[in-house]
Amino acid sequence: MIARYLPGMRLHPAAMCVFALAAACSEPAPPPPVVRLVPTADTVIAPVVQLSEARPLSDGRWVVLAPVEFQVRVVDFAAHTAEPFPLLTQAEVPGPSTLLASGDTMFVGDWGLRRVTSWLVGQPRLEAIPMPDAVGAALPRARDAAGQWYFEGAVVAGRDGSGLADSARLIRADGMLARFDTIAGLGPQDLASVQREGGARLERRVLSGSDRWGVLSDGTLWIARFKQNVVEWRNPDGTLRTKTKPLPDPILAVQEMDRQIYLRRFPEEQRQTARALPFAELKPPFEAAFGAPDGRVWLFKSAPALDSIRTFQVVDSSGARVMVEVPSRGIALGVTAEWIIMAEEFPEGIRLLRFPVPAGAKPN
């Protein structure tokens, strides 16, 4: 039974405390503080169409992956250069598609050769590691301090696309790639039923979200789930350690400008086909996520098309701790304890911008 307060009723002081406490508990949590960064002069131009990965070096430089050109480049903000990774040739790595790092050692995955090669800047190839049949066509997406590899097992679409409704598996392998364990599952994609020449089939909606994940050095797994809009942390054995409540976010619709920006990435002769793809109605709450060394996760938030301010939501198990606003129209490529790297498209290639992580966004 719930007590009700009627006009004229007098409450005992103890009862008044109970009502005050209930009112306080019903109030929403205050929004996290907002830290606004100022424009930066730390910029480098990379003469490429797209950059998909960025990994830091201990001397302040960054290694980036340009998947369209099949290139790996070393970005030096002090010298304002983005030179090809020395000695890493297309003969050695014809199809670079993933980039991992362990300190200054870079691991480059090749989708065609199904292998990972390791490199130090300025030195010949250190090692070539063939991928076993147990992981199919997957390449490792993370590596912990113990040398264990982490893969995202792909789902098989099938003739009618129904396989896309399955959950992808996160797989951990030992350093020798001899033992494999499934440690977690990812949520299914946002799908639409479309009519094609062969009949109805399921296809992923363009501009929809996907779960993001990463691994900390001690083997802790974090997963940012886009449908529930929560972040969870899992122990090295895969058991759930903690997770946030659903995070607060505005609802953003996919607009015509979003569709046009997506279509411009295709050659003119392919755009008509791309227009027939199913588009999402709503944007996901985040476009990317980055695990910081302190265990927090930086969610790169969705924004209206061509917005001049992009936002990170810095999250720990208690929820969003701070919002970081970056004066850039680009996408986020990397976050470390000290730096934020953004990438902006413009006619001459990709403009890379480096921003210092503000004191207000660092752990107390």
Q: Is 106 domain-assigned? A: yes
- Per the structure block, which two tokens stand in for 7? 């006009």
Q: Can you give the residue range of the structural domain that contains 157?
A: 33-361
- Per the structure block, which two tokens stand in for 31? 């929004």
- Splitting the chain (364 residues) into consecutive groups of 10 residues, what average pLDDT does each group show? 36 44 57 95 96 97 96 98 96 96 97 96 96 91 97 86 88 96 94 88 94 96 97 96 94 96 90 93 97 95 96 97 97 97 94 97 88
Please state the pTM of the whole predicted model. Answer: 0.90
Q: Is 248 domain-assigned? A: yes
Q: Is 15 domain-assigned? A: no
Q: How far apart are CA 322 and CA 55, in angstroms?
A: 24
Q: Is 19 domain-assigned? A: no
**What was the pLDDT predicted at 23?**
44
Q: Is 2 domain-assigned? A: no
Q: Is 308 domain-assigned? A: yes
| Residue burial 119-129, b: 16+ Cβ < 10 Å; e: rest | bebeeeeeeeb
**What was the pLDDT predicted at 8?**
38
**What was the pLDDT predicted at 2?**
36
Q: Is 46 domain-assigned? A: yes
The CATH number assigned to the domain holding 146 equals 2.120.10.30
Q: Is 4 domain-assigned? A: no
As for how many domains the chain has, the answer is 1
In Å, the largest CA–CA distance within the chain is 87
Contact of 133 with 173, CB cutoff 8 Å: no
**What was the pLDDT predicted at 25?**
52
Q: How far apart are CA 191 and CA 207, in angstroms?
A: 11
